[in-house]
Amino acid sequence: MSADVTLEDVRQDAGLEETEEPLDLAPVQRIIESLGETKGMLIPVLQEVQKVYGYVPEEAADMVADLMGIYPSQVFGVLTFYTQFHLTPRGRHIIRACSGTACHVRGGKSVISKLEHMLGIGHGETTEDMFASFEKVACLGACGLAPVIMIDNDAHGQLDAVKTERIMENLREMDMMKRGE
Ligand code: FES
């Protein structure tokens, strides 16, 4: 990627929409002040930015580039290389379903199908109402409980489609109650 390609160019090419509300960028400045502006701190800085916003907004990435003296295209290169970074807002709940071997042979496929069906989205997508983002991952490190999913920080194991449906219904109910719906 050439250095004169801006982050905005790349995002437009990728069909990513711009956010309309102005973003408070003060945290970005504070993060760089505390971690330093050397190029080697780029990843820790971006990690902290993502912790603040839940993803790395375009304006924040531009500001990081500006304050650290790095081309925006280089920042975008890092953001797209590492799967830990997200360039669009994520749902209120992060649902990870394991597609690893242990889970697969114990019926993980039906669990994943149920999740995709109930959420109406596939891997790497977020529901329109921002209820949840969904990801398939190679192994959640709890193979003894296969098939396994993680909802936010909680693991749910020994699942089948029926149990998955119940868990998701509970999650939806809790989410609605929290939001006073
Ligand atoms: S294969 Fe699913 S948790 Fe390891």
**What mean pLDDT value characterizes the chain?**
90
**In the prediction, which pLDDT does 1 show?**
43
> 86 in a domain, yes or no?
no
| 9 — pLDDT class (breaks 50, 70, 90) | low
Instruction: Outline where DSSP puts E strands in the chain.
Output: 93-98, 125-126, 132-137, 149-151, 154-156
State what percent of residues in the chain have pLDDT above 90.
83
> 43 in a domain, yes or no?
yes
Regarding whether 110 and 58 lie in a shared domain, the answer is no
* Contact 102 CB / ligand 1 (< 6 Å): yes
Regarding whether 72 and 105 lie in a shared domain, the answer is no
CA 108 / ligand 1 centre spacing (Å): 9
Regarding whether 166 and 104 lie in a shared domain, the answer is yes
**Are 72 and 62 a contacting pair, CB within 8 Å?**
yes
Is the pLDDT at 123 greater than 50? The verdict is yes
106, 139, 159: residue to mutate for ligand 1 pocket, most atoms within 8 A of CB: 139
Regarding whether 111 and 57 lie in a shared domain, the answer is no
* Contact 112 CB / ligand 1 (< 6 Å): no
**In the prediction, which pLDDT does 13 show?**
53
Is the pLDDT at 2 greater than 50? The verdict is no
| Structure tokens belonging to residue 124 | 């790497």
Regarding whether 139 and 62 lie in a shared domain, the answer is no
d(CA 61, CA 56): 6
Strand partners, 132: 93
Q: What is the CA radius of gyration of the chain?
A: 19
d(CA 42, CA 7): 16
d(CA 177, CA 92): 13
Ligand 1 atom nearest the C-alpha of 103 is 2
CA 95 / ligand 1 centre spacing (Å): 15
d(CA 42, CA 14): 23
89 CA to centre of own chain: 8
Tens-place pLDDT, residues 77-107: 999 999 889 999 999 999 999 999 999 999 9
Q: Tell which of 54, 81, 108 closes a domain.
A: 81
> 127 in a domain, yes or no?
yes
**In the prediction, which pLDDT does 181 show?**
76
Number of domains in the chain: 2
Q: Tell which of 81, 102, 121 closes a domain.
A: 81
Q: Tell which of 16, 48, 81 closes a domain.
A: 81
> 88 in a domain, yes or no?
no
| Residue at token pair 């290389």 | 81
Regarding whether 63 and 104 lie in a shared domain, the answer is no
Regarding whether 67 and 108 lie in a shared domain, the answer is no
**In the prediction, which pLDDT does 22 show?**
84
Residue 30 domain boundaries: 7-81
Mean pLDDT of 68-85: 95
